């Protein structure tokens, strides 16, 4: 039974796994869960994801949630498809990948998501203008996280967990790009981050634009709106 | 060179690793970083932990941060000390452990820590009373997370990731207990959570009280203060 993948490309961890599955050519069945139509809130989706979120997988009856855990699982369950560099078997190299993946939850993911939600998503859903104090707070957190990616995680390294691309970079790039949908230019005055993004693009190739199709469309509209203000 | 462990038992992930090291008898050198004296803010500690937090390890020159990543690393780096049940080699069982460990960051850890900080730590440091709206918000998040632990993670299971104790339970128990330092009784009207706590205590034994020495002292004082109000 082919792996079923439940996702919506508006969600950053959904994009990371989509990218990984396409890049490694693990065969999978696309099961889009349209967040815009609240498909994740339908009662039957609870059998797939008890918290009714995306992404999730069903691998021949083995159901899993939590994107970071799913990425690790896929590396172990599909060794014929997954080259060692994505999640190195070496204990210390693997630890470096894990270290970033645990750090990102409360930092770039938390602040980047909250910035996007408060600046773009909530105003869109409610028709009310953004609450500026919340936007400012999450923007400050986002900028600190971007500073730390540049000065700590990318210090003396080409990629987030060393000198080769890993699953940390795939999740990293999807989280870093999330605020661009709300019109925020994460690469402005950030030479280290920009260089890393080029490195990731160089390794991933056209699959990156494929995963970012929805994001790039929304980001372009937000940039036009920003320019009009 | 013996593993050096940097920690303060007032921090919940510090307690989880302390518990794990004691329980598995991995030899380690205690390097306490006294948060109360701001020892983590000293310049030289940056060489151990670039974000100046606890916990951290230095394993013969290999420095690591992020508690969840450290727990996984120790399981892999010290196989002679670590029984398989702590982090099963089986791909699917390991995935269940990872799944909980990724979930907990933004849920029980986030809300439990923030409740503790806003109810107890910040008022203690500032001499000002707690900001009730913040306390209420994080208490609501904490209660939802506790509900989810009972109804989802512990549904049909004795432990958080299956029928055996794993590193998920060690981190879980340390996070769940954190709000007790602010006088919150996490076990009140929670039969499933209480039963799980008894299961964990039964497996861990006296090392649990040893790791919880500071927590139990602060929790007892908070309970007395609550009783006086």
pLDDT of B225 reads: 75
Q: Which CATH superfamily is domain B3-82 in?
A: Glutaredoxin (3.40.30.10)
B181 Cα to chain A: minimum distance (Å): 22
Cβ of B105 within 8 Å of Cβ of A102? The answer is yes
The segments of chain B whose pLDDT lies below 70 read 229
pLDDT tens per residue, range B19-44 = 999 999 999 999 999 999 999 999 99
The Cα–Cα gap between A94 and A84 comes to 10
The Cα–Cα gap between A70 and A55 comes to 9
Domain ranges of chain A: 3-82, 91-228
User: Is the pLDDT at A224 greater than 90, yes or no?
Assistant: no
pLDDT tens per residue, range A14-39 = 999 999 999 999 999 999 999 999 99
Residues of B in contact with A145 (CB under 8 A): none
B77 Cα to chain A: minimum distance (Å): 7
User: Looking at per-residue confidence, does B17 or A222 come out higher?
Assistant: B17
Contact B36, B43 (CB under 8 A): no
Alpha helices, H only, chain B:
12-24, 67-77, 91-104, 110-116, 122-126, 132-148, 167-177, 191-204, 207-211, 213-228
Minimum-distance CB partner of B152 among A50, A101, A110: A50
pLDDT of B228 reads: 74
Q: Which of B17, B55, B66, B67 to mutate to test the interface with A (most CBs of A within 10 A)?
A: B66
Return the CATH number of the domain spanning residue range A91-228. Answer: 1.20.1050.10
User: Looking at per-residue confidence, does B109 or A225 come out higher?
Assistant: B109
pLDDT tens per residue, range A37-87 = 999 999 999 999 999 999 999 999 999 999 999 999 999 999 999 999 999
Residues of A in contact with B153 (CB under 8 A): none
Q: Is A113 on the interface with B (CB under 8 A)?
A: no
Residues of A in contact with B67 (CB under 8 A): 102
The Cα–Cα gap between B162 and B165 comes to 8
pLDDT of B229 reads: 61
Mean of per-residue pLDDT scores for chain A: 96
Q: Is A103 on the interface with B (CB under 8 A)?
A: yes
Average pLDDT of the segment spanning A145-149: 98
Distances, alpha carbon A47 to alpha carbons A6, A57, A61, in Å: 12, 11, 11
The ipTM (two decimal places) reads 0.96
Minimum-distance CB partner of B69 among A73, A76, A95: A95
pLDDT of A229 reads: 60
Cβ of B73 within 8 Å of Cβ of A95? The answer is yes
For A79, name the nearest residue in chain B, comparing CA atoms only: B91
Find the length of chain B. Answer: 229
């Amino acid at each position: 039974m082919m792996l079923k993948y439940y996702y919506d490309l508006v969600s950053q961890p959904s994009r990371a796994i989509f990218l990984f599955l396409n890049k490694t050519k693990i065969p999978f069945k696309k099961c889009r869960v349209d967040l815009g139509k609240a498909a994740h809130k339908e009662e039957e989706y609870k059998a797939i994801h008890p918290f009714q979120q995306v992404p999730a997988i069903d691998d021949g009856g083995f159901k899993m949630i939590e994107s970071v855990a799913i990425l690790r699982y896929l590396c172990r369950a599909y060794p014929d498809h997954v080259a060692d560099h994505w999640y190195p078997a070496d204990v210390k190299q693997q630890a470096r990948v894990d270290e970033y993946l645990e750090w990102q939850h409360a930092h770039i993911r938390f602040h980047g998501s909250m910035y996007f939600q408060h600046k773009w998503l909530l105003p869109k859903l409610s028709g009310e203008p953004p609450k500026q104090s919340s936007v400012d707070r999450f923007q400050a957190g986002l900028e600190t996280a971007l500073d730390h990616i540049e000065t700590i995680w990318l210090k003396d390294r080409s990629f987030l967990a060393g000198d080769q691309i890993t699953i940390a970079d795939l999740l990293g790039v999807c989280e870093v790009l999330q605020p661009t949908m709300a019109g925020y230019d994460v690469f402005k005055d950030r030479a280290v981050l920009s260089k890393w993004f080029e490195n990731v693009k160089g390794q991933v190739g056209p699959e990156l634009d494929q995963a970012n199709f929805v994001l790039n469309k929304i980001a372009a509209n937000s940039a036009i709106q920003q320019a009009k203000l």
